Amino acid sequence: MTDTIPTIAALRERLSIMDRVRPPKGCAALSLGLACLDAALPGGGLVRGGVHEFLPAPADAGCHGFVASILSGLPPGPILWCRYRDKGDPLGLAEMPYGPGLAALGLDAGRLILIRPDNADDALWALEEALRCPGLAAVVGDGVMPGPVAGRRLQLAAEDGQTLGILILPPLGRPPPSTSLTRWHVTSQGDRPAHEDGGRPRWLVSLLRARGGGSQGRASRWEVVWDDTAFRLRLALPLADGPVAAAE
Amino acid sequence: MSGPLALTLAGQGGIRLYAVDALATADGLRPGMLLADARALSPDLIAMPANPAADRAALARLAIWAQRYTPQAATDGTDGLILDITGCTHLLGGEERLLTDLADRLGRAGLTCRLAVGDTGAAAWGWARHRSATAGPVLPTGTRSWVSLLSLPLAALRLDEGVCKDLARVGLRSVGDLQRQPRAPLAARFGTGPLRRLDRMLGVAADPVVPEMATPGWQVHRAFADPIMTRDAIETALLMLLRDLSIRLEAAGRGVRRLRLTCLRTDTTAQNISIGTARPVRDPQGLLNLFRERFDKIDPGFGIEMMELTATGTDSFTGEQAGLAVGGGDAFAVMGLLDRLVNRLGEDQVGHPLPRDTHRPEQVMELVREVEGKTDTGTLCSPTLRKLPACRTAADATTPTSPWPKPQPTRPLPARPRTWAMEGPRPLLLLHPPEPVQVGSGLSWRGHYLPIDWLEGPERIRPDWWRARIGPTRDYYRAQLADGRRLWLFRTVDDRGAWYLHGLCA
């Protein structure tokens, strides 16, 4: 962004709005709650009217935790949470998002509309319908892995409804490329025990991909901690005896 | 056809008489006789087989026909009709004229009848069958009818034959005889049956009429000249039905909550599909969309010859007005979405989490069905289901100060939601049922050994003492594995001391 000619800059800006990587005029993106994370994204946060993908590690709730912490910053409105588990998923059909746990991350489970489709087709259909619905604050597809066509359909549906779409993918080693706006990888990181001023949710967040490419030259890995007293994210201080985080 | 006539039915010991006409009665024939004996008594007897099922069906049809006099018409036994004509007699100019009209019409249809009007169903039954030939069919009202009723024979009480004989053996032959007896010894000896029948006849106890068929309030149907089979034809027919229904609902100011579509096929089988909505709806197109998700369940077979649409649940319609409220349009969009989700995925698959007042972690969060509008059992919290959070308004659109404003992330200050507040650490994803694990220096789960970094706890959670089924007390721990994952484990406080994995912490 080193253009000196203002017209070109304005055109760039306009193109990026048309490309949905930047929120349209008068709208703000959803902040991730941490300035350095927001700065890595061209929209200055998660842009509505698009799908954002989050890739978890197997049997790890860290990714769900990071998503819940982001959703806690949403303006009021119901959130549709579509939980789907493939038969091959290591956790099976047993686990569910849990109200008290969500509350600890600032998200009121009373806002959720929880749906549990039996098959992937129903899950994708439900997500598409929900993304087209203007009344929802966000739509979360938990455990849903859309194919290339379905992914594109979801993206278009989100553009139609101007809804924030979030996909928590099933834990895959190498998910195929998609048309979503951003893709993140989140894993839990060890924290100090509680009696040593630790025991907080701590995640390693990597921005794998952001359409519109905002992250050149900047770090795209952060180690963040959920501060359970201030109820906000903050960058983790490197552990004395743990792996050194690439925090700035 | 001359000569005595009797209908016969296979009975004990051979073919027995089922019903006899007046000529046969004059010859001394009675129902229940063996046909061979009857032929001996009356050589020119014409015997034909009886068909009780068809008789019952014909009587039921007659009961529905009798709804011309009152909606409360029902069959009564195998040979009677009972009509609750309360408030209906003025339409024909009084009870006498109603009886005349009814007798005329039945006579023209070739049916003989004995009619009676009484205060109670039991009184009318007895009066119709057992009054003396000179008495009129209409009983006086109130206790003035007692004189007539008490003079009736005991059979007028519609008692079992055996009970009647027993009562006759102790010298009770008329209703009056029974009424004058002390009640307690009578009940002790003959049961409460005779007394109950007496009370119902005299109007002391209630004797309601259960109508043959409740008139469906909201039903439309359409029969087709040719059976229809294609999806398009079914959809068009359904839309026409929905329009018919919608007009009637609109006149009554109501909307449907539950609809049932019955497709009657040419092979005389019926198929049902039902839909439910979260709020009263009567928009034909919207309802058709809800049915569309279910159309795959219809198998037309060789064709559908009739479609019937019944609104099994309706509510007063408040729709359009509420839409005028702030944010209402969005709220209605969400309601419409919920209806579509519920009708495709099933009612159990769409839920709204509500906190419950219990100690058991797996029962703290209850999923309330969206359609029901209330919790099923046992919740102590207020069942405020349809209260969706306020939809997002224009407040998040910040006013721009420059033509191309730098995107300013907005983020309201989060706070711990009060309703879900818990003392100790709670998992983000709860496993239910809990998974058995082994805990030593590390954790063995599904054949994997996972070293534990630290273990935090215990937090003792007892079962709900106010409930009957009490499981063991549990000691909960939060463990961090060496790879950074945090788990929620518990150990049962009993002889086994078994470890379970109950959730994944963020």
How far A177 CA sits from the closest chain B CA (Å)?
A: 27
**Out of A92-101, A133-142, A143-152, A172-181, least confident range:** A92-101
> Could you state, in order of their start, the residue ranges of all structural domains in chain B?
5-50, 54-202, 219-322, 346-387, 429-505
pLDDT, tens digit, 9 for 90 and up, residues A206-217: 998 888 765 554
Residue A244 burial (CB count, 10 A): 9
Separation between Cα atoms, residue B103 and residue B443, nearest integer Å: 88
CB–CB of B505 and A122 under 8 A?
A: no
CB–CB of B370 and A122 under 8 A?
A: no
Q: Is A41 on the interface with B (CB under 8 A)?
A: no
In a domain, A16, yes or no: no
Q: Is A162 on the interface with B (CB under 8 A)?
A: no
Separation between Cα atoms, residue B451 and residue B442, nearest integer Å: 4
The CATH classification number of B5-50 equals 3.40.1170.60
Q: Which domain holds residue A44?
A: 28-235
Residue B501, burial from CB neighbour count under 10 angstroms (0-12, 13-18, 19+): buried
3-state secondary structure chain A: CCCCCHHHHHHHHHHHHHCCCCCCCCCCCECCCCHHHHHCCCCCCECCCEEEEEECCCCCCHHHHHHHHHHCCCCCCCEEEEECCCCCCCCCCCEEECHHHHHHCCCCHHHEEEECCCCHHHHHHHHHHHHCCCCCCEEEEECCCCCHHHHHHHHHHHHHHCCEEEEECCCCCCCCCCCCCEEEEEEECCCCCHHHCCCCCEEEEEEEEECCCCCCCCCCEEEEEEECCCCEEEECCCCCCCCCCCCC
Q: How far does CA B27 lie from the centroid of its chain?
A: 51
Interface test with A, best of B279, B326, B337 (most A CBs within 10 A): B337
Q: Is A106 on the interface with B (CB under 8 A)?
A: yes
Residue B223 burial (CB count, 10 A): 10
Q: How many domains does chain A have?
A: 1
Q: Is A130 on the interface with B (CB under 8 A)?
A: yes
The tens-digit pLDDT sequence of chain B (506 residues) is 577 888 888 888 888 888 888 888 888 888 888 888 888 888 888 888 888 888 888 888 888 788 778 878 888 888 888 888 888 888 888 888 888 988 888 888 888 888 999 888 888 999 998 888 888 888 888 888 888 888 888 888 888 888 888 888 888 888 888 888 888 888 888 888 888 888 988 888 888 777 665 555 788 888 888 888 888 888 999 999 999 998 888 888 888 888 888 888 877 777 888 888 877 888 888 888 888 878 888 888 888 888 888 887 787 876 554 333 334 457 778 888 888 888 888 878 888 888 888 888 888 888 887 654 433 333 333 333 333 443 333 333 333 333 444 444 455 555 666 677 677 888 888 887 888 899 888 888 888 888 998 888 788 988 887 776 677 889 999 999 988 899 999 999 888 889 999 888 88
Which pair of tokens denotes residue A150?
């379905």
In a domain, A23, yes or no: no
Q: Considering only CA atoms, which of B172, B380, B171, B350 is closest in space to residue B278?
A: B350
Separation between Cα atoms, residue A124 and residue B386, nearest integer Å: 25
**In the block, which residue shows the tokens 């409360």?**
B72
Which CATH architecture is the domain B219-322 placed in? 2-Layer Sandwich (3.30)
Residue A18 burial (CB count, 10 A): 10
In a domain, A242, yes or no: no
CB–CB of A77 and B486 under 8 A?
A: no
Which pair of tokens denotes residue A170?
């099933």
CB–CB of B353 and A114 under 8 A?
A: yes
What CATH number is given to the structural domain containing A56? Answer: 3.40.50.300
Alpha helix stretches (DSSP H) within B263-310: 284-292
CB pairs under 8 A between A and B: 266
Q: Is A238 on the interface with B (CB under 8 A)?
A: no
